[in-house]
Structures are given as C-alpha cells and as structure tokens.
Amino acid sequence: MKKVAIVGAGQSRYGDFPDKGIKELFFEAYKDMISSVDNGIDPKSIESAYIGNLGSGGFQLGNMSALVTEYCGLTHLNTMRIENACASGGYAIIAAAMDVLSGAHEVVLAGGVEKMTDVSGMKQKYWLGVSGDTEYERLAGTTFAGLYALMAQRHMHEFGTKREQLSMVAVKNHKNGAQNPKAQFQREITMEQALKGPIVAHPLNLFDCCSTTDGASALIICDADMAKKYTDTPVYVAGFGGASDFLAIHDRVSTVALEGTKRAAAAAYKMSGLSPKDIQTAEVHDCFTIAELLAYEDLGFCEKGKGGQYMEEGHTKLDGDRPVNASGGLKSKGHPIGSTGTGMAYEMFNQLRGTIQKPARQVKGAEVGLIHNVGGSGGTVAVSILRR
C-alpha cells in the first residue's frame, strides 16, 4: 500500500486581525507553507486542495475553497471545502491523504481557514452553536461551553475530578503558548487567575474556554515515494481515522467520554500499527479544559476517569513524559475553527523535525506524535498519527 508524507507546513499568526480576511489569512499560511519546503516546490505541481472551514460568519458559504486558493494563484485545482465543524481541518488531512492513497493525485494541499472576529458579538455566539444538535441542545439554551460543562459536571461527579485539575490544563497550555510566536495569547496565567475567571457555564469559567480566532494553516501532502524530492526530513502520516457519533450528548451512551475519539483513535492506531504507549507527544482538542482531560482518557493515554490525575501528575507538561499541546493548544494558540486540525499538523510537523522556532517548547527527541481534532461536542472526530 502507498504511504503518505507531509513535506511542507505553514501557518498564519493566530489572533484577531481586523485588517485581514479569509483570503489574506489563507495566503499568509500558504506562503509560509511554500517556503517551508526545503528543496522548494512549484505551486503548479499541486493538483488538489482540501480546505477546512466552518462558515466564516456565513459570508461565503459557497465555493470558498476556490476563493482562497485562486487568491494564491492556483486556478487549476481539484478543490473542495471540507466541513465537519471544528474538526474540518482534521478531515481535510484525511481527505488529502485518501486522495494521494487512491492514486488520483500525487501532490495535494490540506489546509484550513476561519475568520471569526468580523461579526458582531451576537452573531459570533450564533455561529458558535451551529455545530451541535440545534433542535434540542441549542434550544435548551446552550452553546458549546454549556455542553462541555455538562460533561465536566458529570466527570467530576463520577470520578471526583477536581476543579483545580481543569485549571491546570489552562495554566499548562498558556505556559506553552507564551513560547509560541504565532499563538493568539502569548502569555502565562496563574492558577489563581485560572480558578477565578468569570463564570461562563458553571463549572466552566472564562479560562476553561478557548477564544474566537482568525487564522489559517496549510500542508503539502504527497506520495511518500516522492517525499525525498522535497525534503530530507518528511513527516509520514502513519495512520488516520475519522469517526462520527450522535450529535446530541443526550443521545450518547456516555456523557463522560467521546466515543468518536475512541473510534477514530482505534482506526488510526490500527492503520499505523502503533498503540497509545508509542505516542510521545500530542496536540489534542482542548476547546475547553475538560476536553483535554477527556482526550487523555479516550486516546488511551490513561484510564477512563483518571484524566484529572494524569494532568496533575505532570505527564503532559513540556517536561513530562508525554507533552500535550506544546503549541499552547486551542486554549492559548487559538481556535480558528476550520484551521485548527491542519494547524495541529503544522505544529507536529515542526515538533517531529525539531524545527520549533523557540527551543523552550521543542519536545526533545519525539518521533511519533498524534493530533486529535473534534467537531462540535464530538459529533465528528479526526485523529492522525504522524511519524518522523
């Protein structure tokens, strides 16, 4: 069977950029991607492009992948928008990998872009709730903060997970993000700040929640057989998996696990021949602090219910045995919805090649990393395992 490699990766700065729209943001990531290819790449050799995007506030719901790629000078592409809510980017990677594996195309772009700060505060909140179950969850008066709070409350009840353990995730990720020049919030927060943030959806406060972000990212994915033409240090996509679940939490078997994560991870582990113990570092979907603890459990890094303890024991800190979200995660790096998955791959590409800009958050010697991208509250999940 064919194999797939990533030979270039770029990312725009993440943040709030009134002077940039989706075209400009995507172009910034695209240029960064092109210049990251060690031996250079002719843009005309890119045959396909899969662009993750939720909706950019609703202004360009149609033909947006052609819009952002034609701005970069690419008008010959087999291109399409990939939409699976916050997991759109993760699925863009899967779509690109499948394209290459099918033999249809050899050089494919997987990217993502979102412009979230252009709209009024009310519209922003409107757009934040459109990827869950609209009829019941939304009309019960929740957005995603509320849905993850439902999971957090139950997790605390069933497993004794502590409020402090949630805040530890926020403190850790901000500490990492402070070292990421492309992160939205490049500053550390104290435990006290993290515990005392204004309540958004009890038990979650402002510091348990990721922000709204503008940003883009892009990868060049190609047939592994030709990867060395572009670089001496490609990063291989060892395995990937996508899995869906009931959109509404109340329909699911469990309110303290994302079955989608378990199933997507199982598929990725199987394809790669690897298991959780082989994962040396990971970028997981910490849209809310509880989501990172759930990810530890559902990806198999620790037992179900032990996510809080696993955090508290320090395994996932930069100097721990399995650093998680060295980029700062969604929490500190930012969460431009459609770009998040490919942004995680951008981070992992550099982590595995040892090319992180600031050595302070370079994970030392990692050869295998996992990226985990969740759509909505778990209605879709994409997991990829990358290997140097």
Partner 1 sequence: MAHVSVPMYWRTIPQRYKLIGYKCKKCGAVNFPPKGVCKQCQSSSEFEETHLSGRGKVHTFVLISAGGAPPEFAEQEKAGGQYPVAIVELEEGPKVIGQIADIDPKEVKIGMPVRTELRKIYTEEEVIRYGFKFVPA
* Separation between Cα atoms, residue 314 and residue 40, nearest integer Å: 40
* Separation between Cα atoms, residue 143 and residue 69, nearest integer Å: 32
- The HSE-up count of residue 153 (CA atoms within 13 Å, CB side) is 11
Q: Is residue 196 a contact point for partner 1 (CB under 8 A)?
A: no
Least CB distance to partner 1 at residue 341 (A)? 25
Number of residues that bind partner 1 (CB under 8 A): 40
Per the CB < 8 A criterion, the answer to whether 182 and 77 are in contact is: no
Per the CB < 8 A criterion, the answer to whether 26 and 113 are in contact is: yes
Question: Does the CA dihedral 199-202-207-213 come out positive or negative?
Answer: negative
157 part of the active site: no
Nearest C-alpha neighbor of 113 from the set 74, 143, 81, 138: 81
Q: What is the footprint of partner 1 within residues 254-293 (CB under 8 A)?
A: 255
Residue 23 tokens, joined: 């075209």
- Secondary structure (3-state) at 206: helix
Nearest C-alpha neighbor of 146 from the set 159, 160, 133: 133
86 part of the active site: yes
The residues, any chain, with a CB within 8 Å of residue 120's CB and separated by 6 or more, are: none
Q: Is residue 136 a contact point for partner 1 (CB under 8 A)?
A: yes
Least CB distance to partner 1 at residue 300 (A)? 24
Least CB distance to partner 1 at residue 198 (A)? 7
Mask of contacts with partner 1, 199-218, x by CB under 8 A?
xxxxxx-x--x---------
Choose the stretch contacting partner 1; rule: CB under 8 A; options: 76-84, 118-126, 229-237, 369-377. 118-126
Mask of contacts with partner 1, 76-115, x by CB under 8 A?
----------------------------------------
Q: Is residue 248 a contact point for partner 1 (CB under 8 A)?
A: yes
Choose the stretch contacting partner 1; rule: CB under 8 A; options: 93-101, 130-138, 233-241, 337-345. 130-138
State which of residues 43, 60, 226, 246 lies at the interface with partner 1 (CB under 8 A): 246
In the 8-state DSSP scheme, what is residue 363?
A: P
Binding site for partner 1 (CB under 8 A): 122-123, 125-126, 128-129, 134-143, 145-147, 149-151, 153-154, 157, 198-204, 206, 209, 246, 248-251, 255
Residues belonging to the active site? 86, 335
